[in-house]
Amino acid sequence: MINPILDPSENFSVLVIEDNQGDFVLIEDYLLEKFTQINIVHCADYASSITYLKNSKEKLSLILLDLSLPDLRGIELINGVLSHNFHVPIVILTGYSDLAMAKSSLQAGVYDYLVKDEINPDILYKTIIFALNRSSFINQIEDEKLNYENLFNFNPQPTWLFP
């Protein structure tokens, strides 16, 4: 069953990993403009964000990640967060338009790459909705694949597959 598109009135939680307080306030304003039931968590560096991801009991819906933090940056930062995010979609927010980095980050597994100067509430909203729905579809496909494998592997009767 396909999950419906996120309604702006639904409750969800966003982790914003951003070291610039001005950029965080702007992103927070954009989020609050489009979503009525949102919990915004802010971390200013990689270390505190990983601590939050490891220790939080809250179900996180999305990560908005600045690409340049005081303690880590670039593809190393992306890989570090991806290794701890527990299947939470990540959207990159950066001040630099770098096509090679955008391509590398998308190949690594992030859901989108946005340049901060080009973001407005509508673009951020669309990006979040697309990321959440894509994540939902991917999780559904993985669950169905696991169910099929279990049916096949745990079936007591011999099963033959013909091409």
Residue 9 pLDDT > 60, yes or no?
no
In whole numbers, what is the pLDDT of the chain averaged over residues? Answer: 85
**Residue 2 pLDDT more than 50?**
no
Higher pLDDT, 138 or 47: 47
- At 72-83, the pLDDT tens digits run 888 898 988 888
How is domain 12-153 classified at the architecture level of CATH? 3-Layer(aba) Sandwich (3.40)
Q: Which residue do the tokens 């933090």 mark?
A: 69
Write out pLDDT tens, residues 55-70: 888 888 999 999 989 9
Q: What is the DSSP string of 1-36?
A: -PPPPPPTTS-EEEEEE-S-HHHHHHHHHHHHHH-S
| Confidence tier at 25 by pLDDT (50, 70, 90) | very high
Note the pLDDT tens digit of each residue in 90-142. 999 988 777 888 888 888 889 999 999 999 999 999 999 999 988 888 778 88
Strand-pair partners of 17? 43, 65
> What pLDDT does residue 159 have?
62
